[in-house]
């Protein structure tokens, strides 16, 4: 019978998303719509999956109570309510559902732009007071005006398309997207200062980060084109709220349309409440039937896919592999984890660096997940089951271990091979390996040819190349009832140093290893267990 997982939906989610989870056959759903903090802390230990929108905060306090949690999905884009580093530390995958609400949020920005241009909410409020203030609500035309769009990701691009349709002149800024990738938008790509100085409207579509917080603030108000109108459907705090109020009062800013706030809901003393030219909406960007449906479906599909197959779509702390890539990389993934384990057991000192060189077909893929698998194998030797693919990079960094890979491209049809070189600062250890019809296989150790599977019970011996080694080894193991499954030898030069690899059927008794180490022809002997 398939394993059953328990998933808590702590905030509101469209019914179709709930249905996808329920029909998956592997998930028992607890849909609560709204979850009180105390209750969440009490029950969260029971769940393998958690779905939240923005109301439920997933921080260390919650994670400390999570005994079984594998995955948190934010039904939406912004993950400001999730402590991602703490989730990684705990080994919990974090995903979001970023695509479903882009169009609706872009439309909300455009709606606020129209509202600012024509003062529609103010005129509506005046009419409801039974007034007819025609001259008071004179507006501005959009055609021919300049709009600055800061952040050209999913939503920013949708906004640009609509502004161009309105025949506006569009300035854009996004330092993290290569200019060539934005050329098709046919807008003027520029910098923040130019946008502040030239725009009649400015709209922001970035996350709230150190580089975007206070993008308009009290110090740069004077840089704005007088009469500018500001729109924020991204995150509160990108424009400093006090500065906007100051700008509206002084007339530098003609109006601000804000869907998001530094604190939500804002405190009663928010200065913008008092200003007629501030048009405020309660975080409605994604609040359309269409967006909620799309986000719920995207969220539920990701949850089912992850719990079924381990593929994390839109993961924010876990390598994202599509199923096609997974088919090719799965045996390499397993191989790297086993090599990590082997290296950690084969070397004497604490490993400091692991360099992986990839060759052949393999180099056509994103191979970062293999480095994570290597880290997991390596750390599991010391840390046990606490390590998983999410927290392995965190733990590796904490311990000062660097794991890096590089692809060597070749024009010929070279077979896929990887070479791993590990160092503990004193000793180096090197393995070459490949994946063949029988799975992951080691094809060389320390520049010597060897062929064996990195699994089961292994005795790895560095010895002097002298007669009697094999005979004595066989006798010693046999006298302790240890059966040899396979044995391989390789040496650098006659009479020089040799490597002996012995695969045994069961665990090696400790006294056998000690006896071996005492032999004068044994330079080093290690018992390695790979699961």
Residues that bind ligand MLT (CB under 6 A): 53-54, 76-78, 101, 283, 285-286
Q: Residue 90 in contact with residue 395, Cβ under 8 Å?
A: no
Task: Give the residue with the Cβ less far from ligand MLT, 291 or 498.
Answer: 291
The nearest distance, CB 216 to ligand NAD, in angstroms, is: 13
**125-130: Cβ within 8 A, 24+ apart:** none
Select from ligand NAD, ligand MLT, none the partner in contact with residue 447, using the beta carbon and a kind-dependent cut-off of 5 to 8 Å. Answer: none
Q: Does the annotation count 274 as an active-site position?
A: no
Between residues 151 and 285, which has the closer beta carbon with respect to ligand MLT? 285
Binding site partner of 53, from ligand MLT, ligand NAD, none, Cβ cut-off 5-8 A by kind: ligand MLT
* Residue 176 touches which member of ligand MLT, ligand NAD, none, C-beta under 5-8 Å by kind: ligand NAD
From CA 297, how far away is CA 145, in angstroms rounded?
38
Task: Return the bridge partners of 169, or none.
Answer: 146
Is 48 known to be catalytic?
no
Which one is catalytic: 53, 74, 205, 235?
235
Report the alpha-carbon distance of residue 380 to residue 389 in Å, rounded.
11
Q: How far apart are CA 162 and CA 102, in angstroms?
A: 13
* Nearer to ligand NAD (CB atom), residue 36 or residue 264: 264
Closest residue to bound ligand NAD by CB? 153
Query: Minimum distance between the CB of residue 111 and ligand MLT, rounded to whole angstroms?
Result: 15
Nearer to ligand MLT (CB atom), residue 58 or residue 77: 77
Strand-pair category, 428-436 with 93-96: unpaired
Sign of CA pseudo-dihedral 262, 267, 270, 272: positive
* Catalytic residue of the set 162, 169, 283, 399: 283
CB of 208 to ligand NAD, least distance (A): 6
As given in the structure block, the two tokens for residue 191 are 């910098």
The residue whose Cβ lies closest to ligand MLT is: 76
Residues that bind ligand NAD (CB under 6 A): 77-78, 98, 101-102, 105, 150-156, 173-177, 205-207, 209, 211-212, 233-235, 259-260, 283, 285-286
**Which partner from the list ligand MLT, ligand NAD, none does 486 bind, CB cut-off 5 to 8 Å by kind?**
none
Nearer to ligand MLT, 54 or 120 (CB): 54
Q: Is 235 a catalytic residue?
A: yes
Taking the C-alpha atoms of residue 177 and residue 376, their distance in angstroms, rounded to an integer, is 32
Tell me how far apart the alpha carbons of residues 125 and 279 are, in angstroms, rounded to a whole number: 12
Please report where in the chains the tokens 């030898």 appear, as a residue: 489
Nearest CB to ligand NAD, comparing residues 173 and 365 = 173
- Nearest of 34, 26, 29, 5 to residue 17 by alpha carbon: 29
Tell me which of 28, 61, 183, 264 is the catalytic residue: 264
CB 404, min distance to ligand NAD, A: 25
Q: Is 33 left (phi over 0), alpha (psi -120 to 50) or beta?
A: left
Q: Smallest distance from the beta carbon of 54 to ligand MLT, in angstroms? A: 5
DSSP string, 10-36: -S---HHHHHHHHTTSSEEEEE-SS--
- Beta pairing partners, 491: 498
Minimum separation from the CB atom of position 207 to ligand NAD (A)? 4
Give the number of other Cβ atoms within 10 Å of residue 120's Cβ: 15
Q: What six digits make up the tokens of 387? A: 């390590």
Of 78 and 509, CB closest to ligand NAD: 78
Burial zone of 288 (CB within 10 Å; 0-12 exposed, 13-18 middle, 19+ buried): middle
Among all chains, which residue has been given the structure tokens 């007034």?
131
Shortest separation between residue 137's beta carbon and ligand MLT, angstroms: 30
The entry of ligand MLT, ligand NAD, none near residue 54 (CB within 5 to 8 angstroms by kind) is ligand MLT
Q: Pick what 155 binds: ligand MLT, ligand NAD, none; C-beta below 5 to 8 Å, kind-dependent.
A: ligand NAD
* Of residues 313 and 432, the one with the C-beta less far from ligand MLT: 313
Q: Would you say 74 or 229 has its CB closer to ligand NAD?
A: 74
361: number of CA atoms within 13 Å, CB side? 9
CB of 285 to ligand NAD, least distance (A): 3
Please report how close the Cβ of residue 77 comes to ligand MLT at its closest, in angstroms. Answer: 4
List helix spans (H) across 166-279.
179-182, 192-198, 241-250
User: Which residue blocks in 178-312 are alpha helix, DSSP H?
Assistant: 179-182, 192-198, 241-250, 289-309
Integer Cα distance of 234 and 140 in angstroms: 24
474 makes contact, choosing from ligand MLT, ligand NAD, none, with CB < 5 to 8 Å by partner type, with: none
DSSP three-state, residue 383 = helix
Q: How far is CA 223 from CA 117, 192, 218, 529, in A?
A: 21, 10, 10, 66
Active-site positions read 235, 264, 283
């Amino acid at each position: 019978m398939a394993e059953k997982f328990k998933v808590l939906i702590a905030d509101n989610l469209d019914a179709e998303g709930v249905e996808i989870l329920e029909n998956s056959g592997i998930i028992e759903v607890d849909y609560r719509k709204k979850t009180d903090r105390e209750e969440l802390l009490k029950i969260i230990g029971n769940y393998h999956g958690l779905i939240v929108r923005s109301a439920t905060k997933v921080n260390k306090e919650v994670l400390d109570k999570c005994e079984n949690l594998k995955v948190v999905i934010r039904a939406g884009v912004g993950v400001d309510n999730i402590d991602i580093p703490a989730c990684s530390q705990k080994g919990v995958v974090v995903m979001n559902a970023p695509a479903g609400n882009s169009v609706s949020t872009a439309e909300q920005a455009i709606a606020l732009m129209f509202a600012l241009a024509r003062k529609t909410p103010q005129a509506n409020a005046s009419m409801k007071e039974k007034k007819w203030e025609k001259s008071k609500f004179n507006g501005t035309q959009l055609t021919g005006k300049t709009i600055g769009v800061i952040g050209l990701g999913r939503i920013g691009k949708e906004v640009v398309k609509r502004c161009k349709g309105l025949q506006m002149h569009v300035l854009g800024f996004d330092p993290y997207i290569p200019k060539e990738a934005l050329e098709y938008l046919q807008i003027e790509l520029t910098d923040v200062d130019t946008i502040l100085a030239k725009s009649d409207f400015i709209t922001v579509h970035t996350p709230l980060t150190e580089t975007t917080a206070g993008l308009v603030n009290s110090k740069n108000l004077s840089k704005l084109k007088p009469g500018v109108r500001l729109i924020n459907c991204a995150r509160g705090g990108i424009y400093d709220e006090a500065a906007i109020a100051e700008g509206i009062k002084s007339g530098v800013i003609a109006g601000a349309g804000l869907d998001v706030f530094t604190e939500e809901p804002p405190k009663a003393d928010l200065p913008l409440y008092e200003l007629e030219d501030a048009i405020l909406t309660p975080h409605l960007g994604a609040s359309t039937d269409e967006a909620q449906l799309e986000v719920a479906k995207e969220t539920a599909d990701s949850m089912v896919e992850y719990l079924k197959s381990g593929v994390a779509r839109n993961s924010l702390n876990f390598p994202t592999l599509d199923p096609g890539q997974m088919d090719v990389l799965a045996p390499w993934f397993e191989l790297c984890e086993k090599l990590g384990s082997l290296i950690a057991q084969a070397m004497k000192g604490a490993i400091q660096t692991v360099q992986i060189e990839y060759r052949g077909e393999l180099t056509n893929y994103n191979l970062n997940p293999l480095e994570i698998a290597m880290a997991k194998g390596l750390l599991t030797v010391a840390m046990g089951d606490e390590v998983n693919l999410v927290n392995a990079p965190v733990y590796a960094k904490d311990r000062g271990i660097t794991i890096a890979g590089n692809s060597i491209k070749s024009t010929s049809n070279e077979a896929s091979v990887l070479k791993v070189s590990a160092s503990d600062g004193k000793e180096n250890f090197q393995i070459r390996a490949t994946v063949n019809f029988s799975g992951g296989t080691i094809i060389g150790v320390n520049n010597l040819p060897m062929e064996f599977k990195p699994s089961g019970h292994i005795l790895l011996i560095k010895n002097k190349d002298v007669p009697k080694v094999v005979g004595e080894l066989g006798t010693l193991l046999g006298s302790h009832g240890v059966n040899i499954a396979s044995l391989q030898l390789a040496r650098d030069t006659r009479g020089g140093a040799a490597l002996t690899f012995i695969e045994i059927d069961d665990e090696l008794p400790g006294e056998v290893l000690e006896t071996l180490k005492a032999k004068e022809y044994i330079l080093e002997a290690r018992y390695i267990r790979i699961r």
